[in-house]
Structure 1
Amino acid sequence: MKSVRRRFPICLLTIICLMLSSVPGLAQTDLNVGLDTLAARIVTVMDENAGPDQTTEKIRIAVLDFPDLQGNVTSLGRFVAEELTTRLFLTKRFEVIERQLLNKVLDELKLGATGFVDSSSAQEIGNILGVSAIVSGTLSELSSTVRVNARVIATTTGMIVAAASAELPKDDGVTQLLNTLVTPMSGFIPEPSLVPPVVPGETNAGVDPGARQGESLSIQREQTDRDRIEQALIKRDYYQALSLCREALAANPDFAFAQAALGYSYLQLQPPNREQALIALERAVGLSSYPFGDGFAYYLLGRLYGSLGRRTEVRLALEQAVLRYRGVGPGRVVEPWYDQAVTMCLELYQEEIKACWERDDYYQALSLSQQLIAAFNPAFAYTAQGYSLLMLDSEQAPAAIKSLLTAVQLDGKKTGDGWNYYLLGWAYQESGETEKAQEALEQAVISSRQVLALTRPAWYNDCLVRLQTGYDQKVRQLLADRDYRAAIEFLEVALDFVPGYAYGYVVLGYSYLMTGNNSDQAIEALEAAHHLEAEPADGGWSYYLLGWAYQENQRYGSAVEAFGKALQRGEGLGTAAETNDWVPACRTRLTESYEQLFGGFLSRGGNYSYYLTLAEQSIELVPEFATGLAMKGYCLIELSPHRSTEALEYLQQAQAIKEDPTGDGWIF
């Protein structure tokens, strides 16, 4: 029966439109096309709104005549019922009781086929005919139209599970059918002779005929009041609507529709009376959850709560409105208020979730994210869920990955400023999936740069740090494998994502040197590293590489300066091979560069004071450097002849280390 109640609200709105196109005054071709389209729409809408417990079996229904408000069945009421029976059958989704069989059973039961149905009579027909629901209704003649009000009544409970209305143009054909009487009113009121006699000491289990008739009259009165109120609202005569609502409520204070319409009318006044509107609408939803049928009352309440700053109540009311509207199924055109309600709900959820993050309440944020998923299923909700999981426990990374991937899928890979990809990369890192982490983090950087050209989001720097951590692992593996060309290819791309990656520039410069590339490229990379960080690599290695690159470029003065800094740092770290295995090579390259400088000085001449200082620096760095000792002795003789004895000592020390330091007999 749940599936019946779920499907019929959708079908009934289409059924009423079907009845509109069934009037003889319309062209036959247009009539057939309209009926076929509406029948197909019934099947489509049922599929769209089917729940998990939907069955493939057809729904068994009975369609009764549509009487007027006085209970008379006219030819128009019978025509509507006949056409409705045929078209519902043609959808192949319903088992519709044949009209002649229905009339025969009703005659045998001494019941009329009019649409005045109460709970017991609906259950009685359901038991006899085996139908799940009864479609009934009334016709109301207005000035230029005939209003059709239809209801679907569940035979198991006797409750109205759906209701809808439509208006037929009152042309000559409709008027003729309306004025032709078929049968006097009999309704579903058992004749007095059929009421079981009361045995002394017992009570009659049946329903008093007078009570039944009173109930029917009450329903008719409500429908008439509703029609009049709706007409006033359509004409935007809100003062008339207010008057009609008050009149209806005076007769029946529990008339929820009138209360809701009263609240709506108060809002349409200029200036609107929000206080009275709020009172009326809260009373309306207290009497009936959905007095307008589609959740519009809750939408109005949500807007009112918003004007009062009651933000939590705003979201709850709007969410109720949206879910109800989805439940009954939208018509051909979605109501504008529905889209507004959805937008406002999403914004309010986001505000609440972000407020939870600001106060580090990730459990509440997770709960709200899950509520948002259940209600609206937006991409942001899955992103928020993934972030909250990561902040609560790194072991939740696999669950976070699943949630964040769903967000990407829902968003069509357009994830705003890249935050979702940043979180995804973070989650992959926590799960040890480094390749996927790198891909996601790089996508985060790309998205951020595309969306935010001038500023960067708060998470951006952490994204670069995480990306750099992954790059470090990759680079060290390439160095271990001595795959320098692959390192160059990798780093030239990586440094576009993390321009501040100093260590990456160091390894890039080293890889250029190891592959014999132009030394200018190595110098550019290594100088960039030192521009970013004073010590971009541990132990002076980067200075050694820079000196090497300068040496290859024949910039010997810069080379000895860089080599000197490298040795000062490298030799101060101890003898661990992993930190200073390059030191011997550095010392060799340093002495080679000094020899180039000293050789140029001997061949071309120069400033003796400068080269004396240079020689002293070389001896300080490499005490056993014979050429440096000899050069110091030579400069002392030229600059201070009175220090010839000291100069001779340096020359002798140089010869003791290497008999002919320059190899050309110069020292002799």
Structure 2
Amino acid sequence: MNQSQSCQNKALFFGLCVPAIATSLIINSGITLQQANAQETQIQIAQQLKSPSATTEKARIAVLDFDFSSVSNPSYLSFLPGGSKGVSDILVNRLVKGGNFVVVERSQIDAILREQNLGDSGRVDASTAAQIGRILGVEAVIIGSVTQFDIQQRQSGGGFLGIGASTRDTDAYVKLNIRVVNTTTAEILLVAEGNGNNSQSDSQVSVFGIGGGAATSNEGRLLTLATEKAVDQVITELNTKSANLAALPKALPSVNAAVADVTGNTVILNKGKSDGYRVGMKLSIERVTKQVKDPTTGKVIRSITQPLGKIELVEVDATSSVGKITSGGKFKVGDIAKPVQ
């Protein structure tokens, strides 16, 4: 069988077997097959660049511990893994798994709270949350309240001629609301509410006082499942606004980096995405010329630095960044890199 027979309804074009209609279009338009393929590739690239996932940087957020002050029975908190921190832990885990946000680790938040003595007075308001967020270098902070966290039980049953039957129903109810705070303006950007409940029913039969069946105590598990359902409702609302949150002005990291390597025009820093560093960020490279110490404790209370130049980040991973020198020079390992834009 020759090539023209195998093509049948197709035509030979520059030695290739292509549909006859496509061949006609290419010939009539005055372009070659190679040009057509190149144009198709350019269209595909343009479509990828327009994709939000390719162009939109994820918002960096922090989740503070929830307020339980309005819960009727605080003793139920002991049933939840992590106690009063359990709800925020579940929310953080769900946000991380969802992949729509960059979530600050709890250890960083706890360190800031201890260092700044913030949040110790009780309920955190929008202004305090914004202050914490600016220190953490995030665009938004989530604060929340748990307004219901209860266990309710119902007992029913009866007996006849020495035979009795009873049923115990246990219900867990969780209700919470969150506020998303803009760290730049302290404005509340989003309010969302979640409701969750989970139930368990146990039956027991007794004959002349001798019982059979099962009656278990799973309050902790029921409360955890109810909390997860409430959190999932909140997550759904957050995900619908993820693009809006990602469009917020990027916050400058509060943590300075140190120069780890200098090779030619390339500078490598010891901080990365986990500290809020991102591609396109500009940093001032400075050298410590003097350290001022507290005369009573001997601790360094201020470092005097000399600006040497600036770099712009071109590559960032979780723990390091690569920058190109845009001005100045003669940098060396150990110099300080301060975010300026």
TM-based fold match above 0.5: no
Query: Structure 1-normalised TM-score?
Result: 0.17
Larger Rg: 1
Structure whose residues are more often strand by fraction = 2
Query: Structure 2-normalised TM-score?
Result: 0.32
Structure whose residues are more often helix by fraction = 1
Q: State the structure with bigger RCO (CA 8 A, min sep 6), 1 or 2.
A: 2
